[in-house]
Amino acid sequence: MSEAFSCRLGKFSHSNERGEVEMAMGAPIRSLMAITAIAGALAFGTAASAQTAAPAENAAPTADNGILLTIFLKHDQSRPLTELNAQLDKQGYYKAFPPPGTEVVSWYVMMGIGQVVTLRLPASRLREVNRILENTAWGSYRTEFYPTYDYKAVGMAAHDKATQ
């Protein structure tokens, strides 16, 4: 009597009569493994080089390297404002943020959230701004970062062209 087992993604067959066992990996699994290996290599390689790159301390944002960074500083509502501000002072938040050479585009209080700050800076300084906030704002604020780019001129040109 012969037994055979198979799977859609791979193949396993067993024959009691011949005493053979055969296992073969299907093409979909091989492809998935290859994609995973490539993605992992790219992710680790990129992360390592991004962490070791030195920030350009005095770089100014230009049309080819400037980004907008919107930062949500969500305050800890379980603590009084005076306590939060004392912690920010102790950690040097107001001395370090915003760092010199970055442009403050807007800085609002969003009731029920905290503060929302938008900076214009060279992309090479993104890590620097992140580290400043990690070291000086955490504890009083939870942070969310939204890097963007200025699309106004492109969007308005498309609008003008479409309305003429």
Q: What pLDDT sits at residue 39?
A: 52
Q: What pLDDT sits at residue 91?
A: 97
Q: What pLDDT sits at residue 33?
A: 52
Q: What is the pLDDT of residues 47-99, one digit of tens each?
A: 444 444 444 556 666 666 789 999 999 999 999 999 999 999 999 999 999 99
Q: What pLDDT sits at residue 29?
A: 52
**Percent of the chain scoring above 70 in pLDDT:** 61
> In sequence order, what are the residues at sequence separation of 6 or more whose Cβ sits closer than 8 angstroms to the Cβ of residue 146?
69, 70, 71, 72
Write the Ramachandran bin of 66: left for phi over 0, alpha for psi from -120 to 50, otherwise beta: beta
Look at residue 129 and tell me whether its pLDDT is greater than 80.
yes
Q: What is the pLDDT of residues 136-152, one digit of tens each?
A: 999 999 999 999 888 88
Domain spans, the chain: 4-52, 66-152
Q: What is the CATH number of domain 66-152?
A: 3.30.70.920
Across 118-129, average pLDDT: 94
Tell me the whole-structure pTM to 2 decimals: 0.59
Q: What pLDDT sits at residue 86?
A: 96
Nearest to 132 by CA among 73, 80, 81: 73
Q: What is the pLDDT of residues 98-113, one digit of tens each?
A: 999 999 999 999 998 8
Q: What pLDDT sits at residue 58?
A: 60
Q: What pLDDT sits at residue 20?
A: 47
SS3 call for 118: strand
DSSP 3-state helix, strand, coil percentages of the chain (rounded to 5)?
40, 30, 30
How far apart (Å, rounded) are the C-alpha atoms in residues 129 and 26?
47
